[in-house]
A and B are shown apart, each in its own frame.
Chain A
Amino acid sequence: MSDLTVSAMADLTASTDRSRALSAFKLSDKTFYWLTRISALTVLFILGGIILSLIVGAWPAMKTFGFDFLITRRWAPQLSPSPILGALGPIYGTIVTSFIAMLIAVPVGIGIAVFLTEFCPPSLRRSIAIAIELLAGIPSIIYGMWGFFVLAPFMTDYFMPAVIAIFENVPVLNVIFAGPPSYLSLFNASLVLAIMILPFITAIARDVFETVPHMLKESAYGLGCTTSEVVKNIIIPFTRTGIIGGIMLALGRALGETMAVTFIIGNSFQISGSIFSPGTTISAAIASEFAEASGVHMSALILLGLLLFVLTFIVLAAARYMLARLEMKQGK
C-alpha cells in the first residue's frame, strides 16, 4: 500500500493499478465469503443428508410394518417369507436405561457441582474438577470393557442378590427388582451409563452455577443463610432453566450411547419387569445385528436408527431452547 501516495494517485497508470488491486480484493473477498458460507451451509447439508439417508434406508421397513413397528415386541428376523420385527424391546431398554442412569447421575452430578462451587477448598478445586473432566475424556468402549469385567461381576454377586432379598415381599418393587440376577442386565448398563454422563452434568451445572451474580449470593449470606440454604433458595431457582437444559443434554448423550451399553446389556429382545434381567437398547441392537442384516431386517435397523435420531433431536432441541432462555435472562 506504500505506493498509494498522493502523487501516485494522480498518475493514470497508478489508478489503473489501484482499481485492479481493488477488484482483485473484491474477488478474493467474494470468494472467501462464499467459501465460508458454503462451509456453513455444509452443516445443514450434513443434517439433511443424515435424515434423508436414514429415511431412504428405513423406507422398506416403514412400508412393511407401519406404525405397528413401535408396539410390536417380537423380533424374529429369520422368519420367511417376511420377518416379524418390532421396536418395543429396544425402545423399552433405551428408555429404562436412560431413566435409571439420569436418576443416579443427576443428583450426584449436581452435588459435585455444588461441592466444587460452594465449599471446596480452593487449592483442591482445580484438581478435582480436572479429575471429573477426565471421566468425560475416557472413550466409551473402555467403560464397556470395565463394566463387563469389573462392575458386572461385583454387582451381580453382591449388590443384586442383596436388593432382591430386601424387596422380595414388597408389592410393586419386587417385580422391578426381581431375580434371577443376570451378569448382563439393564441395571448394570444403566450404572455404567450413569458414570459416563456424570461429568457432563457436573460441567454444565458448574457453568450455570458460576453465572449466579455474586451480589445475590452475598446478600443471602449476609442475612445469615447457611450454604445449603443459599443453594436451595438462590442458586438452584436462579439456574433452574439452565440445569434442566444441562440434564436434557446429558439425556441426549445417554440415549445414543452405544459401546458402553452393548457389552453389558445382554442383547435380549425380551421385556421383563425386572431391571436385573437382560435387555437391549436401540443403539446396542443396531451395533449387534447390522453387520449381517440384509433386506427388511437391515431396513428395520435403520428405522431404529431414525427413531433414535428423532428422539435425540427432540431432546437436544428442548435442551438448547432452555439454555438459550437462561442466556436471555442474563441479557446476553
Chain B
Amino acid sequence: MEALYKSRIRKDRTTKLLCLGAAAFGLTWLTLILFTLFSKGFAGLSLDVFILTTPPPGSKTGGLANAIVGSVMMTTIGVAIGTPIGLLAGTYLAEYGRHEKLSFYIRFINDILLAAPSIVIGLFIYGLIVVPMGGFSGFAGSLALAVIVIPVVVRTTEDMLNLVPNQLREAASAMGLPRSIVIRKIAYKAARTGIITGILLATGRVAGETAPLLFTALSNQFWNVNLMKTMANLPVTINNFVQSPYQYWQQLAWTGALIITLAVLTLNIVARVLGSERKAS
C-alpha cells in the first residue's frame, strides 16, 4: 500500500513538474522574443523614424514615415469597410436568424473564414481587384484587410448580442417599439462595449498582417497617399528590409517591428480592459 501511495505521489509530482516546465517553456520564448524585439528595435527609435521616408539602400539616414502612414491608412479603411458589414451580419445572426438553418451555415462558413490562411485572401483580392484594375493599389490592400476583419466582427457581434438578456428586448417590444429600433437602440447599447472590443481585436489582427498585402498593395519607397497606386506599409517594408545586408535597413526593420508589436499589443490590452470593465459592470 505504502509503495502504491508513494508511486502515485511520485507520478503526481512528475506530472506537475512537466506542466510547470511547459509553462516555463512558453514564457521563456515570449521573453526571448520580446527581449530581442525591444533591444534591437529601441536602438533605432527616434523622431526621424516617424518623419523621414524610407531610404535607398546603403543610406545612413531615413525613416518609416510613408510605411507608417500607409499602414494606418489601409488598416483604418479596411476596418471601416469591414466593420459595418460584420456588424450587420452579426446582428442578423443574433437577432433575426438565431435559429434558422441558413444561420447555421453562415456561422459555420464564418468560422472557416476566421481561420483561413491570409495568403489565400491575398490571392482572392489579386484575382478580384488587382487584375481587373491593371495594377497594385492601396485600395486592393485595404479590401484584403477588410475581408479579414469581417469574420472577426461577425463573431464578436453575434456573441455579444446573444448575451443581451431577452427581457430587455421583450420589454421594449411591449412598449410598441418596432424590431429595428429594438435592435438599434436597446440591444446595441447593451452590447456596445463588447462590440467595440471585437472591433479593436480585429484592428489589432490586421495591423500586423503581411501576407495579404504582398500582392495587393505591394510597397512604395516614396511618400504616397493615393489609394489607387501602390502604397508603402510597415509589414511589407519590414519584410523587404530585414533580409537585406544593409545595416541601416535592418535597423529600420527592427524598429518598425517594434512599432507594430507595440500598436497591436496596446490594442489587445485596451480591448481586454474594456472587456473586463463590462464583466465587472
Do A and B touch directly, given a CB cutoff of 8 Å in the complex? yes
| CB proximity to B under 8 Å, residues A28-57 | 28-29, 31-33, 35-44, 46-47, 49-50, 53-54, 56-57
Question: Which residues of B sit under 8 angstroms from A273, Cβ to Cβ?
Answer: none
A137, A229, A259, A302: the one within 8 Å of B8 (CB): A229
User: Contact at A40–B211, with CB atoms within 8 Å?
Assistant: no
Stretch of A6-14, A66-74, A139-147, A171-179 at the chain-chain interface? A139-147
Question: Which residues of A sit under 8 angstroms from B183, Cβ to Cβ?
Answer: 32
| CB proximity to B under 8 Å, residues A108-134 | 108-112, 114-116, 118-120, 128, 130-134
Stretch of B42-50, B60-68, B147-155, B221-229 at the chain-chain interface? B147-155
Rounded to whole angstroms, the CA-CA distance of A252 and B118 in the bound complex is 12
| CB proximity to A under 8 Å, residues B195-242 | 204, 207-211, 214-215, 218, 235, 238-239, 242
Q: In the complex where A139-B209, A228-B15 touch, is A202 in contact with B120 (Cβ < 8 A)? A: no
User: Contact at B33–A146, with CB atoms within 8 Å?
Assistant: yes
Rounded to whole angstroms, the CA-CA distance of A37 and B106 in the bound complex is 11
B246 contacts A by Cβ under 8 Å: no
User: How does the 8 Å CB contact mask read for B115-152 relative to A, with 1 for contact and 0 for none?
Assistant: 11111110110111000000000000000000100110
Q: In the complex where A44-B106, A228-B15 touch, is A138 in contact with B23 (Cβ < 8 A)? A: no
| CB proximity to A under 8 Å, residues B83-117 | 84-89, 91-93, 95-97, 103, 105-106, 108-113, 115-117
A290 contacts B by Cβ under 8 Å: yes
Rounded to whole angstroms, the CA-CA distance of A133 and B265 in the bound complex is 10
User: Contact at A108–B147, with CB atoms within 8 Å?
Assistant: no
Question: Which residues of B sit under 8 angstroms from A253, Cβ to Cβ?
Answer: 115
A25 contacts B by Cβ under 8 Å: yes
Q: In the complex where A258-B210, A287-B119, A317-B112 touch, is A111 in contact with B179 (Cβ < 8 A)? A: no
B91, B207, B215, B261: the one within 8 Å of A290 (CB): B215
A79 contacts B by Cβ under 8 Å: no
User: Contact at B214–A291, with CB atoms within 8 Å?
Assistant: yes
User: Contact at B12–A228, with CB atoms within 8 Å?
Assistant: yes
A187 contacts B by Cβ under 8 Å: no
Rounded to whole angstroms, the CA-CA distance of A142 and B119 in the bound complex is 17
User: Contact at A44–B109, with CB atoms within 8 Å?
Assistant: yes
User: Contact at A40–B29, with CB atoms within 8 Å?
Assistant: no
Rounded to whole angstroms, the CA-CA distance of A138 and B37 in the bound complex is 11
User: Contact at A256–B119, with CB atoms within 8 Å?
Assistant: yes
User: Contact at B19–A112, with CB atoms within 8 Å?
Assistant: yes
Interface-centre pick from A36, A253, A257 (highest chain B CB count, 10 A): A36
B26 contacts A by Cβ under 8 Å: yes
For residue B68, give the distance in angstroms from its CB to the closest CB of chain A: 15
Using CB atoms, name the residue of chain B closest to A143. B33
For residue A39, give the distance in angstroms from its CB to the closest CB of chain B: 4
User: Contact at A108–B25, with CB atoms within 8 Å?
Assistant: yes
User: Contact at A111–B112, with CB atoms within 8 Å?
Assistant: no
User: Contact at B210–A28, with CB atoms within 8 Å?
Assistant: no
User: Contact at B239–A141, with CB atoms within 8 Å?
Assistant: yes
User: Contact at A256–B116, with CB atoms within 8 Å?
Assistant: yes
A89 contacts B by Cβ under 8 Å: no
Question: Which residues of B sit under 8 angstroms from A227, Cβ to Cβ?
Answer: 12, 15-16
User: Contact at B128–A49, with CB atoms within 8 Å?
Assistant: yes
User: Contact at B120–A132, with CB atoms within 8 Å?
Assistant: no
Stretch of A80-88, A160-168, A213-221, A308-316 at the chain-chain interface? A308-316
User: How does the 8 Å CB contact mask read for B2-25 relative to A, with 1 for contact and 0 for none?
Assistant: 000000110110111011111101
Question: Which residues of B sit under 8 angstroms from A316, Cβ to Cβ?
Answer: 111-112, 115-116
Question: Which residues of A sit under 8 angstroms from B184, Cβ to Cβ?
Answer: 32
Q: In the complex where A44-B106, A49-B124 touch, is A115 in contact with B179 (Cβ < 8 A)? A: no
Interface residues of chain B, those whose CB is within 8 Å of chain A, are 8-9, 11-12, 14-16, 18-23, 25-27, 29-30, 32-34, 36-37, 84-89, 91-93, 95-97, 103, 105-106, 108-113, 115-121, 123-124, 126-128, 147, 150-151, 154, 175-176, 178-181, 183-184, 204, 207-211, 214-215, 218, 235, 238-239, 242-243, 253-254, 257, 260-261, 264-265, 268, 272
Q: A39-B89, A145-B257 are in contact. List 17 more A-B contacts (CB 8 A).
A: A36-B88, A39-B84, A39-B86, A54-B120, A54-B123, A108-B25, A111-B23, A115-B16, A119-B16, A131-B27, A227-B15, A228-B11, A229-B11, A286-B123, A305-B123, A309-B117, A317-B108
> What are 24 A-B contacts with C-beta separation under 8 Å?
A25-B181, A39-B88, A43-B89, A43-B113, A50-B121, A54-B123, A108-B26, A111-B23, A115-B16, A115-B23, A116-B23, A132-B23, A139-B210, A199-B26, A226-B8, A228-B11, A252-B115, A256-B117, A283-B117, A283-B211, A287-B211, A316-B111, A317-B112, A320-B112
